[in-house]
Chains A and B, each alone.
Chain A
Amino acid sequence: MPTTPEHNKNTVIRFFLAANNDQLQELDKFMAEDFTTYGPQSLLPKAVGRDAHKGGIGGFKATFPDAKIEIIHIFAEGNKVMTHQKVTARHVKEFMGVQPTFKYLTWTATQLAHFNDDGIMVERYVIEDFMSMFQQLGILPTKFGG
């Protein structure tokens, strides 16, 4: 039986929960073998394959151990699911050359995921407000130009 938009939404929720809870092996259930993420152009342009994703999420969680993704909006149509989410992460390790500030950093992101007929994620597009995160870390100015 083909998947449904509601089932696909549930899969995205479970994917984020597994990432939040460091259950990286769980992520395999939700990703196609060649699952591809297209991310912010200059910072995280592309990741391909289950191992690359587990490695990337694991690396992020090693730097930000208590990072949590909270879904603000979730909508679906056909084989696509979008989420608008808030990420909260306490800065407890050196990151981008900045010593731990122990501040809570928060930023928003939007994701658009594509599923196959079996309800497995085949690709996703993600844009994260890293600029805000860098501003909170003090490595980018908060005001620009005229």
Chain B
Amino acid sequence: MGIELNKQNVQRFYDEVIGMGDVSVIDDLMCSEFVHHGDALFPYIGGSEAIKQGVKGVKTAYPDGHTVIEDMVAEGDIVVVRLTWRGTHLGPFMGKEPTGKVHKWAGLSTYRFNNEGKIIERWANQDVMPQLMALGMIPEMKLGGG
């Protein structure tokens, strides 16, 4: 346990689970009762099994999908990451047929660890609107009036 180990475990989550698609690593890193507090697209995910299913779904749609950690901040039982995810859209995703295009989004995620050094909770803000625009799921939008 400790800040450096927590950081390493967040790095492992992104490298081995998100990048390599090895969902079995989730059992090493996360409590079964893990909770994701997200934003509009995925506001709530309860349980590490649901995370496994989600990772598998994204890996089917984006087999080379992976996360680059751009920055980390840790204090106490918290690790915050600034990240960029990229993947090539080669399988169906949320009802959209593969486009063969590279999609990407930026995120800021806050992880909380329990006393046993496992991830128990996460708050995430993810800039997925460009990806959803590229998929034709939402219209092109800009902030402002009119």
Contact = CB atoms under 8 A, between A and B. Distances in A.
Interface of A: 5, 40-44, 63, 72-73, 75-78, 80-82, 84, 94-97, 107-112, 125, 127-132, 134-135, 139-141, 144-146
A61 B106 CA distance: 26
B129 A42 contact: yes
Tell me the dominant secondary structure on chain A's binding face: mixed
B5 interface: no
Interface in B63-94: 71, 73-76, 78, 80, 82, 93-94
A95 B73 contact: no
A44 B127 CA distance: 11
Interface stretch (B9-17, B46-54, B132-140): B132-140
Contact of A110 (B125, B138, B146): B125
23 contacts: A40-B106, A41-B106, A42-B129, A42-B141, A42-B142, A43-B142, A77-B74, A77-B75, A78-B73, A82-B73, A95-B145, A96-B144, A96-B146, A108-B125, A131-B39, A131-B132, A140-B40, A140-B138, A144-B95, A144-B132, A145-B94, A145-B96, A146-B95
Contact of A144 (B94, B124, B126, B141): B94
Given A43-B141, A75-B80, A84-B110, 5 more contacts: A42-B142, A63-B145, A75-B73, A96-B141, A145-B94
Contacts of A131: 39-41, 128-129, 132, 138
Given A112-B73, A135-B40, A130 B129 contact: yes
A134 B126 CA distance: 15
Among A127, A128, A135, A144, residue most surrounded by chain B Cβ atoms (within 10 Å): A127
Among A63, A77, A80, A128, residue most surrounded by chain B Cβ atoms (within 10 Å): A77
A127 B108 contact: yes
